[in-house]
Amino acid sequence: MRRLLLLTVFIATAVLVQTWLFPRMFPISWKPDLFLVMVVYLAFFASFFQGALACFALGCLMDVFGGNVLGLYGLVYAALFFVIRILVSPINIETTFPFYYMVALGTCLELILIAFLVVFFSPRGGGVWALVTFGLFPQAGLNLVAAFVLLKGLQALRRKAFWAADLPGPSLEESGL
Amino acid sequence: MLDWLRKFRKLVFAVILLVAALLFYSYHLRYRNQTTFFEKTVLEVTAPLQKGADYFFHTAGRWWDSYLWLVSTAEQNRLLLEENRRLRARLQELDEVALANERLQRLLEFRDTMQLSALVAQVFAEDSTSWFRTVVINKGSADGVEEGMPVMVAEGVVGRILRVAPSESRVLLVTDPSSALGALVQKNRARGIIRGQGGYLTMEFTLRQKDIQVGDLIVTSGGGGVFPSGLPVGHVVRVGRPSYGLFQSVTVLPTADFFRLEEVMVLRREQK
């Protein structure tokens, strides 16, 4: 219960940062996608059922804050959760390298899924390909930086704050990249 | 059966969630121009926090500008006074032009055109994703804002209302990839469709024999029923004519500065 509460607070903080801080810190074009990093985090460290539902809910929130058709990101994040869950199931998640790898891979998959859904379901969504083509590398870079900062912050929090020790995450002995 | 379900419960759950999510998305896609209860609730609940954050950042920015950059204030003051004098003179000229224009419009009985009433709104939040281009304004259905209403600034078209909550609305910018509007080249009335490409616009389906030059002004055509005709959209920055094909490719830079959107005008459907 305590772990679930901590996880909820952790995700809510990420939502606040993504929706209120990032739009003011970064120009209108590129900003880190903490929601995606959270999806990867949930796929790594949350339970299967809670994680999947949380990812769907995160996606729906993203749709509201992004002005998209409700359900677009819900579907994308739920699908990403399952794909990443399958990919990480046979590997050791105590180290941080697979996490960064999955953030980069998740960015690519997210873009492909969004572009596919927007183009396939919306007759006017063709322009999204231009953003996807030019935006993949800067977005992946920003997401990796966000994931690095988030994991470092998480590890420091777990090490120094007794109340955060139950937060799931990679091994505290891990030094990072 | 129960054993099978227990054994494959994760797989069954994943399939059910994905199918449900797909149905959820396709259902809302059909009613994409309507604001759902969930969206209204989230917008309403988060709006005070967003306004608070906006106030905090503005205050912090003002404090920074006022106290920490005093070094250049004297020089800035001199330049601003100079600019102020120049702008005042220009404003007087423009007032004269506006009065003359008004008289001419009355004479030519053009008063019926562009008579939509405008509602001034303030932008207080931007999109939280990198792939879509929307902003949130502080006017909603309580102020008479409806989905589909055009939004503009003095320089040109900004976008259209996408979602409406009682006291705030989300605006889809013309630079969003899913945005499209009918437009024409002001000088020769060559028609086309303006599409958003993230940071710039493209004009599509413009016949290749039409003479379009860099710098030409693109205005709304009035087709489509959202934007009135004659509103400035952007300036042509690149024209490409392939060796074959019916159309030319035109790149347009919006006249509105989307990096500095603060106050916008929502054009209401009723007459003034």
User: pLDDT, tens digit, for every residue of B75-129?
Assistant: 788 889 888 888 888 887 787 777 767 655 654 543 344 556 778 888 887 776 7
Q: Does residue B5 lie within any of the structural domains?
A: no
Residue B211 in any domain: the answer is: yes
- CA-to-CA distance for B125 and B47, rounded, in angstroms? 9
Look at A8 and A132; give whichever has higher pLDDT. A8
The answer as to whether B219 is a domain residue is: yes
Contact map slice: A 67-126 vs B, CB within 8 A: 67-72, 74-75, 78-79, 82, 111, 114, 117-118, 121-122, 124-126
B253: burial class by Cβ within 10 Å (0-12, 13-18, 19+)?
Answer: middle
CA dist., res. A134 & res. B231, Å (int): 30
Task: Please say which residue of B61, B88, B107 terminates a domain.
Answer: B107
Query: Could you give the CA distance from residue A33 to residue A139 in angstroms, rounded to a whole number?
Result: 8
> B159 and B130, same structural domain?
yes
Q: Judge whether residue A144 has pLDDT over 80.
A: yes
State whether B190 and B253 are in the same domain: yes
- Domains parsed from chain A with CATH numbers: 2-163 (1.10.1760)
Does B140 share its domain with B95? Answer: no
Q: The domain that contains B166 carries what CATH number?
A: 2.40.10.340
**To the nearest whole number, what is the mean pLDDT of chain A?**
81
Above 0.85 for ipTM, yes or no?
Answer: no
| Tokens of residue A9, six digits | 């607070």
B192 inside domain:
yes
A123 pLDDT higher than 60: no
Mean per-residue pLDDT, A82-90:
89
Pair B140, B264 in one domain: yes
- Report, as an integer, the average pLDDT of A140-156: 87
Domain containing residue B121: 117-173+260-271
For B177, the closest of A56, A79, A127 (CB atoms) is A127
Q: What is the share, in percent, of chain A residues with pLDDT greater than 70?
A: 87
Lowest mean pLDDT among A123-132, A148-157, B121-130: A123-132
Instruction: For residue range B212-227, list pLDDT tens digits in order.
Output: 889 999 999 887 778 8
* B30 within domain boundaries: no
User: So what's the pLDDT on residue B109?
Assistant: 45
Residues A64, B178: C-beta atoms closer than 8 Å: no
pLDDT given at position A130? 64
Is there a contact between A74 and B17 if contact means CB atoms under 8 Å apart? Answer: no
User: Phi/psi at B270 (nearest 5 deg)?
Assistant: -75, 155
The predicted structure's pLDDT at residue B218: 92
Residue among A70, A19, B94, A99 nearest A11 (CA): A19
User: Which pLDDT belongs to residue A17?
Assistant: 83
Report if residue B27 sits inside a domain. no
Question: Are B131 and A20 an interchain contact pair (Cβ–Cβ within 8 Å)?
Answer: no
Return left, alpha or beta for B224; rule: phi > 0 is left, psi -120 to 50 is alpha, else beta.
left
Q: Are residues B126 and B238 in the same domain?
A: no
Top mean pLDDT of A46-55, A93-102, A126-135, B104-113 is at: A46-55
Q: What is the pLDDT of residue B110?
A: 34
Residue B267 is assigned to a structural domain of this protein? yes
In this complex, which of A20, A31, A70 lies closest to B38 when CB atoms are compared? A70
Walking along chain B (272 residues) 10 residues at a time, the average pLDDT comes out as: 78 90 85 78 78 78 70 78 86 77 53 61 76 84 88 85 88 87 88 87 87 90 81 90 84 86 77 51
Q: What is the model's pLDDT at position B207?
A: 87
Asked if B38's CB is within 8 angstroms of A65's CB, the reply is no
Last residue of a domain, one of B58, B88, B107: B107
pLDDT of res. A18: 82
Token pair for B152:
């503009």
Residue A161 or residue B236, greater confidence: B236
User: For B129, which residue in chain A has the nearest alpha carbon?
Assistant: A66
Task: Give chain B's domain count.
Answer: 3
Euclidean distance between CA atoms B83 and B80, whole angstroms: 5
pLDDT score, position B159: 92
Kindly indicate the confidence band of residue A89, based on its pLDDT and cuts at 50, 70 and 90.
confident
Of B60, B85, B107, the residue that ends a domain is B107
